[in-house]
Structure 1
């Protein structure tokens, strides 16, 4: 239950446990973190999300080494580059992943909220909400924890990212939090993994084709996402305290 004190969210035992786990894992390598959360801390109650974007192959490969049956949730927004969908299928086959979960927005939401497929222009937050946040929330409630590929280097908004968070719904594991862009590149090359075909075209972060542009040299990796807008996140990484749900 959410507890408010002077309009602020009070700490819960879950928040404290997340901090303890985060401190424990801070000096561990990514594979060790993943092995501990998949096989011990959250055994049988953990999933991962993947955009099958520019950095996705590294985390997917690490998870596949530990347990190929780990649920891998992909948000099929019906707005992905066709290269992303091809890349998804290629990686799933190459890594032997056996539990891919493709989530799509509810048809009734599409008809009611975005019948002309133009909502991304007038209200991108609302577009992300029904295409990504709602479908994911409906599934992740069935898990105690989920694995995310977010990294501190990606944007100023992620600079203080913890290895483990509690977002009011469940625990979120960020095993690559301290990886750099070069770390990802080196891992992909060292393990003979395919690169997303849009990376060489200047896309270091890849979302929906309607809201993603190439990035100029020296910019944040995510600066091509919702370029020219104040928006920096799709919403799936906001806590219930930030988006108002449950308060």
Structure 2
């Protein structure tokens, strides 16, 4: 295992900005590597440059945070506080960060001047959810990620049909995006929760399979995609901080 990891290190140049060709190469290099080995190699060898985790502290977030914390608890964790979260999510965030010993939790908020100009009443979500997400999520994250070379996300292919071709590595502009759990199944997630005795988000027990802002999150019915409760009734599946990944754009390995 150690020799295989070292061979991967020897074949990768650390860089500050990335291309689609780099993502393809990384997907090939880490084919067959388990998630812990991959994260340990990437983080301990500083192969990603300056990197941060983007976490919603939602229903499945504890798994990725636990895996990264097992390698390096000092990796910055970026949480978008939109001002519209469930109170349960904020409490879960604080409890989980303490439980895992995360030392650099960064809470990102929308710009108050932009909020006053574009959503003074706080109701933009009800008539323009894309604009609300742009204001409360996309813009704050863009500002926060400006100093990072790579980000780590908890996205998984099984969550929705729009994520079915999700690779482990992709590029967003010239920044690398790492999806360590891309090929994990629901059973894999549940097994890790059990093996590590990780606490569940309190809203899961109430039927919320994917948890975002409270006005735009509803319970999921049996047989539905886990993300079907997000923006129900709207032609919208993502908040905008992630784009759909298609097989023609990013090969999946």
Report the TM-score, using the length of structure 1 for normalisation: 0.89
Partner in structure 1 of residue 161 of structure 2: 156
Deviations 1:67-124 (A, max 9, x none): 0000000000010000000000000101110000000001011111111111001110
Query: 1:200 pairs with 197, 205, 217, which one?
Result: 205
Moved over 3 A (4+): 41-44
How does 1:73-84 map onto structure 2 within 5 Å? 73-84=78-89
Describe the SS at the equivalent of 2:19.
helix
Q: Does the CA contact (< 8 Å) of 2:73 and 2:102 recur in 1?
A: yes
User: What is the CA-CA distance between 1:188 and the residue it aligns to?
Assistant: 0.8
Describe the SS at the equivalent of 1:32.
helix
User: What is the CA-CA distance between 1:41 and the residue it aligns to?
Assistant: 4.9
Partner in structure 1 of residue 6 of structure 2: none
Q: Does the CA contact (< 8 Å) of 2:48 and 2:150 recur in 1?
A: no
Distance 1:13-1:75 versus aligned 2 partners, 3 A rule: closer
Q: Does 1:210 align with 2:215?
A: yes
| Runs (5+) with no aligned partner, structure 2 | 1-16, 245-253
How does 1:21-32 map onto structure 2 within 5 Å? 21-32=26-37
| Runs (5+) with no aligned partner, structure 1 | 1-11, 240-247
Query: 2:186 pairs with 178, 181, 185, which one?
Result: 181
Describe the SS at the equivalent of 2:106.
strand
Q: Structure 2: how far apart are the matches of 1:198 and 1:178? A: 25
Query: 1:111 pairs with 113, 116, 120, which one?
Result: 116
User: What is the CA-CA distance between 1:42 and the residue it aligns to?
Assistant: 3.2
Q: Structure 1: how far apart are the matches of 2:74 and 2:18? A: 30
User: What is the CA-CA distance between 1:238 and the residue it aligns to?
Assistant: 2.8
Query: 1:64 pairs with 61, 69, 76, which one?
Result: 69
Distance 1:154-1:112 versus aligned 2 partners, 3 A rule: same
Query: 2:44 pairs with 25, 39, 44, which one?
Result: 39
Q: Structure 2: how far apart are the matches of 1:59 and 1:191? A: 12
Deviations 1:168-188 (A, max 9, x none): 130000000011112111101
Q: Structure 2: how far apart are the matches of 1:135 and 1:39? A: 28
RMSD: 1.4
Describe the SS at the equivalent of 1:166.
strand
Q: Does the CA contact (< 8 Å) of 2:27 and 2:167 recur in 1?
A: yes
Describe the SS at the equivalent of 2:140.
helix
Q: Does the CA contact (< 8 Å) of 1:50 and 1:74 recur in 2?
A: yes
Distance 1:236-1:54 versus aligned 2 partners, 3 A rule: same
Partner in structure 2 of residue 238 of structure 1: 243
Q: Structure 2: how far apart are the matches of 1:218 and 1:233? A: 20
User: What is the CA-CA distance between 1:43 and the residue it aligns to?
Assistant: 5.1
Q: Does the CA contact (< 8 Å) of 1:141 and 1:169 recur in 2?
A: no
**Aligned length in residues:** 228
Partner in structure 1 of residue 91 of structure 2: 86
Q: Structure 2: how far apart are the matches of 1:168 and 1:40? A: 24
Deviations 1:155-180 (A, max 9, x none): 00000001000111300000000111
